Amino acid sequence: MKATWTVKEKSNGVLSVSLEGEAWAKAQAKALKKLAEKTEIKGFRKGKAPIDQVKKAVGERELWLNAVEEVAQDALEFGMKETNALPISRPELGVEQLSAEAATLTFTYDVKPEVKLGQYKDLGIKKDKVRVTKKEVDAKVEELRHQFAELVLKETGKVEDKDTAVIDFEGFKDDVAFEGGKGENYSLEIGSNSFIPGFEEAIIGMETGEIKDIPLTFPENYHAADLAGKEVVFKVKVNEIKTKQLPEVNDDFAKTVNHHNTETMKDLLEHLEAHLREDKEAEAEEKFTNEVLTKVVEGATLEVPQSLINEETDRMVEDFAARLKQQGFTMEQFSQITGQTEAQLREQMTPDAAGKVKVRLVLDAIANQENLSATDEEVEAEYTKIGTDYNLEIARVKELLDRDTVVYDLRLRKAFDLIKGE
């Protein structure tokens, strides 16, 4: 056998393997034997006809094609070993030449692309310093005051922003009430944006007992197609107006909030500041990570195979579907509500998928360049951590994740720590 590898584009190429002589003759003999076992020829029991008659009955081309099936895997493995062209996508088998004396098989697939690295050390990118101000802590306290506020009936006055209006409403399109457009004694917080644009704003200034017609136009992208972009009229009556009575800021308030068992305002303020600091540090870390990866990836040169992008997009769609399922929804229901098909969702996710693949390829190239590896101890520690995080026995984790996958992830992590300067 002889093998050649020819690159076409984006790390996609063709492995050509030629067979002749004894190798091809053995493949034909093996195929003919199997054909003889299942070919029926008049005058003979199944599988008992003479080989020559079987060969004549099935025809040369059918024999050759069956011989290709017999030898294809061996030819692929030989070609990969000869050329070191290892596939990262499923090889597509083709036949370039067939005869009794020789055959040429082709295997089209993607290989890991060549990555030309740019600068990935001493990038000059610094993580933002984190600072929490008193104003930010006070704003959190104010949020909590609104969260724990008591709604008190407003005896006089009009609906104002942030008030809760208890309303009856019914929507009409072309003077006909439409489905889902009616409610009674509905508590609507003004400013919550619970209704379509313009509805809550139109209620501001209404008094208890007042009835009002509110003409509106549904947004063009509204999920109900029969209402999207349509002009309607809502008939609204205000039954009650309630306003928030905010609690005083004292130790009793801290106990009511009970944020990590706080009992004093001093404790509450300290906890709020600590949480704000954690959030800001996480934001700073994410920003730093994105800037580092962006600079390193933009400095590298590579072509990303479409097969890898497709695989990553598949994973992203599967993850999205799993999150929907946790919320009690299916992909079909998502499509019905949003009007977005799975194909459109995939198209939307594809650029992010391509970016993720590119990051992995660049980090892998850095790991190779720096000879980064994972020790047995590090691999075992990672298995233990995963088991702890997901409450799984280590044996089960090892069943789900093979060692090569864990080693690969650890190498990428080390490469990432290196470019961050850690």
Model pLDDT, residue 37: 75
Model pLDDT, residue 397: 93
Same domain, 201 and 100: no
Q: Which residues of the chain have pLDDT under 50?
A: none
Same domain, 290 and 410: yes
Strands (E), 218-264: 231-245
Asked if residue 116 belongs to a domain, the reply is no
76, two tokens? 């692929």
Is-above-0.75 flag for pTM?
no
Task: Please state the domain count of the chain.
Answer: 3
Q: What are the DSSP calls for 331-350, one per residue?
A: HHHHHHHH---HHHHHHHHH
**For residue 211, what are the domain limits?**
150-245
Same domain, 404 and 335: yes
Same domain, 203 and 318: no
Model pLDDT, residue 163: 93
Asked if residue 255 belongs to a domain, the reply is no
Same domain, 320 and 396: yes
Asked if residue 54 belongs to a domain, the reply is yes
Same domain, 102 and 11: yes
Q: Which residues contact 257 (CB under 8 A, 6 or more apart)?
A: 144, 148, 268
Q: Are 112 and 85 in contact (CB under 8 A)?
A: no
CATH number of residue 379's parent domain: 1.10.3120.10
**Domain boundary, last residue among 86, 110, 134:** 110
Asked if residue 399 belongs to a domain, the reply is yes
CATH number of residue 73's parent domain: 3.30.70.1050
67, two tokens? 């011989």
**Domain boundary, last residue among 88, 110, 132:** 110
**What residue has token string 């009007």?**
339
**What residue has token string 């934001």?**
283
Same domain, 93 and 193: no
Model pLDDT, residue 6: 92
Same domain, 290 and 182: no
Same domain, 18 and 101: yes
What is the rounded end-to-end Cα distance, in angstroms, of the chain? Answer: 50
Q: Is 290 left (phi over 0), alpha (psi -120 to 50) or beta?
A: alpha
pLDDT digits (tens, 9 = 90+) for 207-234: 999 999 999 999 998 888 889 999 999 9
Same domain, 217 and 327: no
Picking from 202, 229, 200, the residue whose alpha carbon sits closest to that of residue 214 is 202
Asked if residue 172 belongs to a domain, the reply is yes
Asked if residue 324 belongs to a domain, the reply is yes
